[in-house]
């Protein structure tokens, strides 16, 4: 969690269902982009899930594999559940992977102006704003999700830094 006294950093929380597939990948990708641009001192980045099934567990091995194939190490991340009493106040941006996650956060009382769909930052968007959950699909679904998240993370970082 970000330090509430640290007002100079932009805090970003990536949210999916269980915090083992999409949101840890988004956290890793966004962190790498921030580091590549020399902006690490300007961001606090985290991820979580709306459900608590996987709390304390590492990312899905297929997420770890696709991240590794692309030069990222997300194996150290641990799943946590969204905390409706503190997360909406502690983070500037609540970036959700799909419309279901969006509805869940709004239902839990998150301010609508902080909740954004991940793919709303994808400039090549084909119309569907959801990042599909690859959990029950084949390994190629993780590659496709990685590509979607990379485009969206790049657009998101461009958008945030342009506003600053």
H or E segment to which residue 146 belongs: helix 139-163
In this prediction, what percent of the chain has a pLDDT beyond 90?
87
Identify the pLDDT of residue 6: 52
Exposure b/e, 66-86, CB count within 10 A at least 16 = b: bbeeeebebeebebbbbeeee
Identify the pLDDT of residue 91: 98
CA dihedral 103, 57, 138, 30 (to 10 degrees): 60
Identify the pLDDT of residue 1: 59
Write down how long the chain is.
164
| List of residues 6+ apart from 57 with CB closer than 8 A | 20, 78, 79
The stretch 25-48 carries a mean pLDDT of 97
Helix (H, G, I), strand (E, B) or coil at 109: coil
120 pLDDT band (50/70/90 cuts)? Answer: very high
Global confidence as pTM = 0.94
143 pLDDT band (50/70/90 cuts)? Answer: very high
What's the topology of domain 10-163? Rossmann fold (3.40.50)
Which of the residues are catalytic?
A: 16, 22, 133
Q: Where are the domains of the chain?
A: 10-163
* Integer Cα distance of 79 and 134 in angstroms: 16
4 pLDDT band (50/70/90 cuts)? Answer: low
The CA–CA distances, whole Å, from 130 to 55, 112, 122, 134, 159 equal 23, 17, 11, 12, 19
The stretch 47-62 carries a mean pLDDT of 96
Going along the chain, which residue ranges are E strands?
10-16, 43-49, 93-96, 115-117
């Amino acid at each position: 969690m970000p330090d509430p006294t640290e007002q100079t950093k932009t805090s970003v929380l990536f949210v999916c269902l269980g915090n083992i597939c999409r949101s840890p990948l988004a956290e890793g990708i966004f962190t790498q982009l921030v580091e590549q641009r020399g902006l690490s001192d300007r961001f606090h980045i985290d991820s979580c899930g709306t459900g608590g099934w996987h709390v304390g567990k590492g990312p899905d091995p297929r997420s770890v594999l696709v991240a590794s194939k692309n030069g990222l190490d997300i194996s150290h991340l641990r799943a946590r559940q969204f905390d409706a009493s503190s997360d909406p106040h502690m983070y500037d941006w609540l970036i959700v992977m799909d419309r279901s996650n969006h509805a869940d956060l709004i239902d839990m009382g998150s301010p609508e102006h902080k909740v954004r769909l991940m793919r709303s930052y994808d400039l090549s968007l084909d119309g569907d704003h959801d990042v599909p959950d690859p959990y029950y699909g084949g390994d190629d679904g993780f590659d496709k999700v990685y590509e979607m998240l990379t485009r969206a993370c790049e657009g998101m970082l461009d958008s945030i830094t342009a506003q600053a």
